[in-house]
Amino acid sequence: MDGIKEIQEKIVKDAESKATKIIEEANKEANQLLAQNEEKLKRQSALMEEKAAQEADNYYKRLLSMAELKLRQDNLKQKQDLVDAAFQKASEKLNGLDQNEYFAVLEKMLKKTVSDGNEEVILGEKFQKEAVSFIENYNKNNNTSLKVVDSDRKFDGGFILKNGLIEMNSDFSALLRDLKEEDTLKLVEILFEN
């Protein structure tokens, strides 16, 4: 029976030894898995922090870009308002001319626009009655035969010159509008040189 007891003890010792080895191996594998998972977590955490920092930087850049755009838009609006005010003041000045100044301006404009001297003239409403005699005097002084014609078109100052189907619109508001369209950029450059 001693032999059986010895065999049993040897089997128990072998089993305990194997169990201890299995437990040690399991603990070793568990520690390796924990270390690997911990390393994975650290890498993922670092990636998430990097991504969050990059998103924050992109967000800041977008905010900065939007603020710069808004500033440029506001600046452009202020410049446009100043240009509009300048053209409004020019319009008021033209419409505020007294009779002598008005006809002096019309004479200069006619000298630049009359081509053959036989055109029809549609006059603006300003000083319209006096303008008819002004055109008669202009014809005498400049050897032309301009003819004043009635029209249902309404405009304050200036004139429209007709030669057949061709019209040259020289009413003040049209001239200022054309000038504004053509020369706004030049005016902005002159007024707001940096």
Q: Is residue 119 located within the same domain as residue 39?
A: no
| Residue 86: domain span | 1-95
Mean per-residue pLDDT over the chain, rounded: 85
Q: How high is the pLDDT of residue 37?
A: 80
Q: How high is the pLDDT of residue 1?
A: 60
Segment 46-58 mean pLDDT: 87
How does residue 192 score in pLDDT terms, banded at 50, 70 and 90?
A: low
Q: How far apart are CA 65 and CA 72, in angstroms?
A: 10
Q: How high is the pLDDT of residue 137?
A: 93
Q: How high is the pLDDT of residue 15?
A: 73
Q: Is residue 111 located within the same domain as residue 176?
A: yes
Q: Is residue 109 located within the same domain as residue 156?
A: yes
Q: How high is the pLDDT of residue 46?
A: 84
At 67-116, the pLDDT tens digits run 899 998 998 888 888 888 888 898 888 888 888 998 999 999 999 989 88
Q: Is residue 170 located within the same domain as residue 104?
A: yes
Is the CA virtual torsion 51, 56, 57, 62 positive or negative?
A: positive
- The residue from 61, 78, 95 where one domain ends is 95
The single residue listed with the structure tokens 């008021």 is 92
Q: How far apart are CA 142 and CA 136, in angstroms?
A: 10
- The residue from 41, 65, 95 where one domain ends is 95
Q: How far apart are CA 106 and CA 93, in angstroms?
A: 14
With CA atoms as reference, report the closest residue to 194 among 79, 47, 39.
79
- CB-based burial label for 90 (10 Å; 0-12, 13-18, 19+): middle
